[in-house]
């Protein structure tokens, strides 16, 4: 499917806030998200069910999907941002109006559980979507610069980790580990590994053929990370890629009774023997300073330098 690009976001544009996954139980996070986006120059419009609750979800499946459909249909809304992740976004995939979305292309972003939506929307419509900070994320200067360069300034941006500013003989933070050197080009897909693997066989994942896959996760036992990667391997997805970028796997530890496998060992098992470039440590995931990665955009990775270079602007 030919990629569709949304118009770039500009100061004064209206961002619609949606909650496709977890409910937020306090008022303060809504206030912080709104104040942050307004400080960045945007107007904010809440989805009709943004503050709804049903169990741990932000309203029923129908309500959460309805907000996304309504904001894509609303000509006064220029882009849509998830306020948070959590769990449950994959439940609403069959309820989205993909024809409506395709006819009204807009910025759509978020990360973590929103991985389901940004990949499904691209797969079903061709619209380039964005693995970006959520509304309640910490929009520090690095994250703002990444977002602005990709989504607002429409640059063919090169994503490069921030420098470790500590006064140390060798940097400790933001280090790149090259598993397989080289450069590769392809369309970007990916996000949270747990969510991606849960979508295997669903028909809502984009093509892995000649793609650059990026993955991240948090709070998962290492044996579960191994299981998730085995799901992608058994589906044939890992055989068809052009390259892999491994982001942050924060607080991923061995599980009780499952030995002491390390992330190094797991990633080595799945990627060292591949023919394509692979690197680890990209600023993607449940971390403070984040890239904004466009799903579906053409990019080139350099596994030795640890960079992701967009080959063209991701927005118009």
Domain count for the chain: 2
Flag whether 148 is in a domain.
no
Residue 4 lies in a domain: no
Q: What is the pLDDT of residues 242-263, one digit of tens each?
A: 999 999 999 999 987 767 889 9
Q: Give yes or no: 216 in active site.
A: yes
235: annotated active-site residue: no
Active-site hit among 49, 220, 286, 300:
286
Percent of the chain predicted with pLDDT > 90 = 95
Report pTM: 0.97
Q: Is residue 195 assigned to a domain?
A: yes
151 within domain boundaries: no
What pLDDT, in 10s, does the model give residues 67-90? 999 999 999 999 999 999 999 999
The overall average pLDDT reported for the chain is 97
Whether residue 92 is found in the same domain as residue 193? no
Shared-domain flag, residues 52 and 113: yes
Q: Which of 143, 149, 216, 220 is catalytic?
A: 216
Q: What's the CATH number where 246 sits?
A: 3.50.30.60
Tens digits of residue pLDDT in 28-47:
999 999 999 999 999 999 99
Same-domain status, 170 and 267: yes
- Residue where one domain finishes, among candidates 81, 111, 139: 139
- Residue 47 shares a structural domain with residue 90: yes
Same-domain pairing of 234 and 279: yes
pLDDT in tens, 143-178: 999 999 999 999 999 999 999 888 899 989 999 999
Listed residues 139, 173, 191: the one ending a domain? 139
Residues 164 and 254 in one domain: yes
* Cα–Cα distance, 57 to 20 (Å, whole number): 8
HEC sequence for the chain: CCCECCCCCCCCCEEEEECCCECCCCCHHHHHHHHHHHHCCCEEEECCCCCCCECCECCCHHHHHHHHHHHHHCCCCCEEEECCCCCCHHHHHHHCCHHHHHHCCCEEEECHHHHHHHHHHHHHHCECEEECCCCCCCCCHHHHHHHHHHHHCCCCCEECCCCCCCCCCCCCCCCCEEEECCEEEEEEEEEEHHHHHHCCCCCCCCCCCCEEEEEEEECCCHHHHHHHHHHHHHCCHHHCCCEEEEEEEECCCCCCCCCCCCHHHHHHHHHCCCCCCEEECCCCCCCCCCCCEEECCEEEEECCCCEEEECCCCCC
Q: Residue 39's domain is classified under what CATH number?
A: 3.40.50.10740
Q: Which of 97, 122, 149, 110 has the alpha carbon at shortest distance from 5?
A: 122
Which candidate in 21, 112, 137, 149 is catalytic?
A: 112
Question: What residue numbers bound the domain in which 24 lies?
Answer: 14-139
Q: 283 and 167 in one domain?
A: yes
Q: Mark whether 207 is an active-site residue.
A: no
- Are 135 and 164 found together in one domain? no
The residue from 70, 105, 139 where one domain ends is 139
Instruction: Look at residue 284 and tell me if it is in a domain.
Output: yes
pLDDT in tens, 223-232: 999 999 999 9
Do residues 201 and 104 share a domain? no
């Amino acid at each position: 499917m030919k990629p569709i690009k949304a118009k770039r976001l500009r100061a004064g544009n209206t961002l619609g806030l949606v909650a496709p996954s977890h409910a937020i139980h306090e008022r303060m996070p809504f206030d912080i998200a709104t104040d942050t986006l307004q400080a960045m120059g945007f107007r904010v419009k809440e989805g009709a069910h943004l503050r709804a609750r049903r169990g741990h979800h932000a309203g029923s499946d129908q309500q959460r999907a309805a907000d996304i459909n309504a904001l894509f249909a609303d000509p006064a809304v220029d882009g849509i941002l998830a306020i948070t992740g959590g769990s449950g976004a994959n439940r609403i995939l069959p309820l989205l109006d993909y024809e409506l979305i395709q006819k009204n292309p807009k910025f759509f972003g978020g990360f973590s559980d929103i991985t389901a939506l940004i990949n499904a929307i691209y797969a079903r419509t061709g619209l380039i979507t964005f693995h970006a900070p959520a509304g309640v994320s910490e929009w520090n200067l690095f994250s703002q610069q990444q977002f602005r360069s990709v989504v607002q300034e429409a640059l063919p941006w090169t994503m490069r980790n921030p420098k470790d500013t500590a006064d140390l003989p060798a940097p400790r933070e933001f280090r790149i580990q090259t598993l397989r050197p080289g450069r590769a080009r392809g369309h970007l897909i990916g996000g949270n590994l747990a969510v991606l693997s849960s979508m295997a066989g669903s028909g809502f994942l984009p093509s892995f053929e000649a793609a650059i896959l990026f993955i991240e996760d948090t709070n998962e036992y290492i044996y579960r990370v191994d299981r998730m990667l085995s799901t992608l391997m058994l589906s044939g997805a890992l055989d068809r890629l052009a390259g892999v970028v491994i982001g942050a796997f924060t607080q991923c530890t061995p599980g009780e009774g499952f030995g002491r496998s390390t992330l190094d060992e797991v990633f080595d098992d799945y990627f060292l023997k591949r023919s394509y470039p692979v690197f680890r440590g990209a600023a993607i995931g449940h971390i403070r300073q984040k890239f904004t990665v466009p799903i579906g955009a053409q990019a080139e990775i350099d596994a030795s330098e640890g960079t992701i270079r967009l080959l063209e602007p991701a927005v118009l």
